[in-house]
A and B are shown apart, each in its own frame.
Chain A
């Protein structure tokens, strides 16, 4: 995996005395530290670069966050999986050509929230209000959960925070093999380590700065051996002439390394993106042909592969997992009930039955 290049650290004056700030600055020796009044000042610097998004990935901004927990917005008209997000850090040091953060966050730096005390209070309130509910929650929406873990130790802090919350599954979703911190602690039954997976060819071409497929799966194997349960996310699934062959290899490799029972959930989601993403991504990833494929603009304004193609992809990947009797671990991300019906649901005596892995949401 390519090592990250952090060029500069910006510190919000409001938090300059915070212990976490000291910790980060000490771990990044030699980087200039600039104190600013607000994030706009940092963005103002970043935007001068011909590649502001790339530049944003090379600077850290330490500040506080007003609130951390929010339900995953999913997308209107789709079947939600009931996920919750902890937005502890914003922006990702990895550089995937399809990443929607390029359009969503635009010129944001790697923003780390230092007010962990506030997060602690928010999480405790949340858990006390949801004692009887089963919840899945994770930090992987606005960043990779573990890419900066060597620096922030977020995983240790969060694992400790959720200790004992048996019905709340805390997921660390990553494209890296940065699991050392989580291997230092006793595994908790409610902590799930999850990897986004793609064929090696896609990783090499479209997922700059991430770990190879094998490195991810070897890390998953180590996590399982340590006692963790794991999840896999096939998202985004990229279509091309030989997609099935490549994804079959990924599925085969998973089951060579990971015992089926250690897999908690598997999500599938084909490539989708908002209309303003291609113009940013095409410029940043000149060799990528992702955005030159056939797409339709859907009900929510996002572009997706045409429905017949998506259905076929889901059905065939589902079959690949069925060969290992693991079809019941699969759910779809941001897809409509129609697509569920055509793929994961079985119609028996006029009623649809699903193999959706989250029994508490049925």
Chain B
């Protein structure tokens, strides 16, 4: 496959120009800045596009920038044309007879083209064996000074890059990169950074630590729950015992008083009443003052009578009182409603007709007067007057109608209200009846009084009953009606019962005097135990508060744990992926080396013959692709550094050629050399050129230079010559005659 022509239109400094090439050696001559690089860059520009649209935009015309390449080969001819501004590409392949074999037309942006994807990429692959720009450039292009062999490690690196298939990156580096990241993650390496643990290990350790903390926190939570249960129980028992204590105290005080009274002032066989246990709520003082009990009782009874309620309140009385109260309230409100409605009704009386009548009469007389004065318009006056008279009457009737409607409505409402009132009154009557049956006066005043006194009555009754109970020595818990359940969690003291013991005690209820100290002792013990329990309650509450504070962490720990675990899982997965990748790549390299190494060595050897003009024909590689040549005059191999520069250059060229051929899947593609020998001097230059000529037997070579001595050689060796330089048209007549395409277009 050779490049036959490059067609340029408004491409860089070329307005419209076609360059034609031939097999073998082609020399493009031009001084610096003549456009050599532009010309050779047109090739990848057409194949892969340019990202920077301004790069080749013509100085003359900015709207168009296009180029085309024509390749010819065994199969026929391919023309690839591209508009560099909008990236429209046209590819036409024709066979030997000129029949069209393939055609592609479409837009191929540079990113796509460079990657070799899509239908266009398929064509390139088919034609050249290559479809990626990076590979294309690194195999077929030799830039300035690039023919000289780089140092051995770089050479090996270049070889590895090309063999990787990517052109730029050498697989060794990729492998190293994978392994590095793996080590950062999971410390897989044995030596070196064995002190630091990988990130994955760190996270796993954190998760474990967190789980420990969580377990501790969980224990604390359980402790807290038990603690709270204990506290609740304690509260319960304290509440109960405190009330018991109070009762016991009062009873004993009663007993003591009794004995004192009956036996006069007695010595201190009666211990003073034990101190009351300290109460957190400074409400009622349970200190019982020993007064005149009977007197007190009578007083209470009198008060009770004053409430107007019977001593024993029947169950329904309360309900009846409440109901009656409610019903009366409803009645009052209904009466209010009715009054309101009546007032409203009054407001809607029929509007007076007198005014309207007067107005119409006035109009009528006015009309009559006018018609008398102006008899001609009588008819008109009658007509107009009639209408005028009708208007106020119309309004009047409307208003009257409206008023009537409203009145009807209100009357309806009033009727309803009245009905309800009657209902309420019937109910009240019924309630009154029940009052009477109970033997109470149903009068409204009485009822209200009874209602108001109900709570007080209950209180008094309770006190009286307490006295009775205390005297009879019966601890009746049912008496304590006041201890209704309340919203607060702490049990309350029985409401202020400065219960005074009655003066006299029925003998059966009295504790024998001998047993008194024992009873007091028991009471004191109860008091002690209560105090202890309260102290303990305080302790427990404090403990609860501290536990509570530390518990907030538990939930935060759980959340942190979740986050860490998910991080650990994702790191774990990453490690798996990296490990797999490294294994895959490692294995691939191994397989590649073992399969292809020998073959390469052989391919390169063939090219080596050409480039060293027969001096060397064999080459070898180590695993890292460092090159070895047979040692001169002895058996065995020597590394490349041991040989001359000229030899090294030759070897490098051979390597590049072999690789290019390999990457192009066996095709012999043209090579483009952009002044690669610029750093070579005298003899080396000549040697290398000789080498290139050899190569040119198999590959088309397009060689750009500004070196005049090469011009001479071009003539001698019958190279195909193109000149970019205006002033050189008549230089070498021999070549002019022989090469009919010296009439190359010059710079415009």
Task: Decide whether A and B assemble into one complex.
Answer: no
List residues of chain B with CB under 8 Å of any chain A CB. Answer: none
